[in-house]
Amino acid sequence: MKRAAIKVVVAGAGGKMGRTLIEGVLEDQSLVLAALLEVKGGPVIGANFGKVKVGSDIHHAIAAGEVLIDFTRPEGTLAHLQACARLGKAIVIGTTGFSDLQKKAILQASRKIPIAMSPNFAVGVNAVFKLAEVAAAILGDDFDVEIIEAHHRHKVDAPSGTALKLGEIVARALKRDLAKSVVYGRQGDTGVRPVKQIAIHAIRGGDIVGEHSVIFAGPGERVEVTIRSQSRMTYALGALRAVKFLRGKRAGLYDMSDILGLK
């Protein structure tokens, strides 16, 4: 017997990522667009996508679906998360830039509802996470680590959540504390590079969708692991994969390693 389509709610319907998610849901026959959310006063309030009208009533929108996809801003995501927890709805979180306190609130909510959260849902990016981990473990302390990320001029957080995740993965593989090893960019008379330093650099400009590189620079050779995202649809497709993964799951905090079976 064919399973019923999953009812999906998309937050941030007026943004570029929101519109890409809407497009992905409408094209996937195993999903149905149940509701669309945007902040009060947003320019798309009242507009129709498919047969669904964009609204700002959080409770009404989330109650209409089974899973909310949220790629907005930390404050908005937490408000949506609280509503999901009250209503017993699952949520896919692609928002980045959370504080430690906000991350604790997400972890607490995961005791009530299933949550899929990742700094990057693109399948290729998650392959790079694994490749960077393997490379770091093999190359060790003889290779200096530099992480470079580039995004469009409208991205408001830096470095990107993906770059930070790469830093965490590499640091863990090298048995280092990222907080003690990391430097964000360089300026002035910095002196000789510390052996166990991990550097993260952010570029902002134009309409760059997203690029991430981990450079392992050693004596006589350099290893680079790079991913260039050419379309936001790569993120959307990964998020839709997460939506399907969450169906029937127990409360808990899941990531792309769970979704892709990498654990």
Count Cα atoms within 13 angstroms, Cβ side, for 52: 25
Is 40 known to be catalytic? Answer: no
**Cis geometry, peptide bond prior to residue 114 (ω within 30 degrees of 0):** no
C-alpha 110/C-alpha 253 separation (Å) is 5
Token pair in block for residue 133: 């981990």
Write down the catalytic residue from 155, 196, 201, 249. Answer: 155
Q: Is residue 37 within 8 Å of 10, Cβ to Cβ? A: yes
For the purposes of burial, counting CB atoms within 10 Å of the CB of 118, is it exposed (0-12), middle (13-18) or buried (19 or more)?
Answer: buried
Scan for tokens 């509701």, then name that residue. Answer: 35
Q: Is residue 247 within 8 Å of 6, Cβ to Cβ? A: yes
C-alpha 133/C-alpha 228 separation (Å) is 18
Write down the catalytic residue from 80, 89, 151, 165. Answer: 151
Is 244 known to be catalytic? Answer: no
> Rounded to a whole number, what is the distance in angstroms from the first to the last CA of the chain?
31
> Which secondary-structure segment (H or E) carries 149?
strand 144-151
C-alpha 118/C-alpha 95 separation (Å) is 8
- Strands 52-55, 48-49: pairing is antiparallel
- The set of catalytic residues is 151, 155
